[in-house]
């Protein structure tokens, strides 16, 4: 008999989750506020529940993927949901903060359920493939019991700890990194446009050096974790001086100076604080002082 899994929320990511489970041979029940989004999945073999409570009752494992934890709460406020959750494992894959995760875990426990909070580090088209990463935090025993079902969603499935908010904290950390890289890429593309160069050529250049960037990210993590800021290959001062040139370039070109000015000012604060000859990751010392 096929194992049963329920998916609540059929936006682009939720629908991708349901499709991945169907492809891997699970018996999938789905529910979405807009039932039209469930029709393509029903045609592929999914069962369509007529209410959130009925969807939850259909399976021992319930995966929720909606816009955020507040949207989840609205769904769970529906009649019969709290009772239906008793004895089930809830996997929350909606976006939220670590504190959102802790509050949901506490509420689920009060209903007699176990909540695992997770985050998807992939685009919808990658869900169910080796390219996808999913992090999960919460009850380790329940994670082990449901690992096969969860592994259907991502080739790289990672349990990151029993503290309910651990996955959400890592997602926030990744989002911080991505925000910086996206803004940086767009500023770089702006530089290229202004100089008559192609943005797609710039993208291919970044792709080519991405292995170096990956190594650098790992190195920065080790430097910060073990407080090894001395004997750097690149110092705060070297990077800070380069960023002043980036400010100059933007002014001379008449393009946006927002990113260069922000970055240069942060590194200058680190130099003024006496960290100029340390590893450039030492700017975290300045950021910590704002906490």
Q: What would the pLDDT profile of 145-154 be if each residue is shown by its tens digit?
A: 999 999 999 9
Torsion of CA 80, 86, 92, 97, to 10 degrees: 90
Phi, psi dihedral angles at 6 (to 5 degrees):
-105, 140
Q: Which of 3.30.1540.20, 3.30.70.600, 3.40.50.720, 3.30.360.10 would CATH assign to domain 4-162?
A: 3.40.50.720
Structure tokens at 232: 């750097």
Looking at residue 231, what is its pLDDT? Answer: 86
Whose structure tokens read 């910060």? 224
Question: Does the domain made of 169-288 have the CATH classification 1.10.1040.10?
Answer: yes
Please classify residue 290 by burial: count the beta carbons closer than 10 Å to its beta carbon, then call 0-12 exposed, 13-18 middle and 19+ buried: exposed
- Does pLDDT of 291 surpass 70? no
pLDDT, tens digit, 9 for 90 and up, residues 36-49: 999 999 999 999 99
pTM over 0.85: yes
- Does pLDDT of 253 surpass 70? yes
- Does pLDDT of 237 surpass 60? yes
- Does pLDDT of 1 surpass 70? no
Q: How confident is the model at residue 279 (pLDDT cuts 50, 70, 90)?
A: very high
* Alpha-carbon Rg for the chain in angstroms: 23
Phi, psi dihedral angles at 90 (to 5 degrees):
-105, 125
Average pLDDT over residues 6-33: 97
Please classify residue 8 by burial: count the beta carbons closer than 10 Å to its beta carbon, then call 0-12 exposed, 13-18 middle and 19+ buried: buried
Residues of the chain with CATH 1.10.1040.10: 169-288
Whose structure tokens read 């004895």? 87
Phi, psi dihedral angles at 170 (to 5 degrees):
-65, -35
Residues of the chain with CATH 3.40.50.720: 4-162
CA end-to-end span of the chain, whole Å? 53
pLDDT, tens digit, 9 for 90 and up, residues 112-164: 999 999 999 999 999 999 999 999 999 999 999 999 999 999 999 999 999 99
pLDDT, tens digit, 9 for 90 and up, residues 173-219: 999 999 999 999 999 999 999 999 999 999 999 999 999 999 999 99
């Amino acid at each position: 008999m096929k194992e049963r899994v329920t998916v609540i929320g059929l936006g682009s990511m939720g629908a991708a989750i349901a499709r991945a489970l169907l492809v891997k041979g699970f018996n999938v029940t789905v529910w979405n506020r807009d039932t039209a989004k469930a029709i393509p999945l029903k045609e592929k073999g999914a069962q369509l529940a007529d209410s959130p409570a009925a969807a939850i009752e259909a399976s021992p494992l319930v995966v929720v993927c909606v816009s955020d934890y507040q949207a989840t709460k609205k769904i769970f406020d529906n009649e019969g949901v709290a009772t239906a959750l008793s004895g089930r494992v809830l996997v929350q894959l909606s976006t939220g903060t670590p504190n959102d995760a802790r509050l949901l875990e506490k509420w689920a426990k009060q209903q007699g359920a176990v909540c695992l909070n997770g985050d998807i580090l992939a685009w919808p088209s990658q869900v169910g493939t080796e390219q996808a990463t999913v992090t999960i935090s919460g009850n380790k025993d329940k994670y082990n019991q449901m690992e096969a079902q969860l592994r259907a969603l991502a080739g790289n499935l990672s349990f990151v700890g029993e503290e309910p908010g651990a996955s959400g904290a890592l997602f926030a950390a990744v989002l911080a990194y991505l925000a910086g890289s996206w803004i940086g890429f767009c500023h770089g593309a702006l530089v290229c446009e202004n100089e008559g160069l192609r943005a797609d050529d710039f993208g291919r250049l970044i792709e080519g050096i991405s292995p170096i960037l990956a190594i650098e990210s790992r190195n920065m993590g080790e430097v910060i974790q073990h407080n090894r800021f001395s004997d750097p290959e690149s110092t705060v001062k070297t990077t800070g001086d380069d960023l002043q040139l980036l400010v100059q370039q933007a002014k001379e070109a008449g393009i946006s100076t927002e990113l260069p000015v922000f970055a240069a000012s942060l590194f200058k604060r680190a130099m003024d604080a006496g960290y100029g000859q340390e590893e450039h990751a030492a700017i975290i010392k300045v950021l910590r002082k704002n906490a």
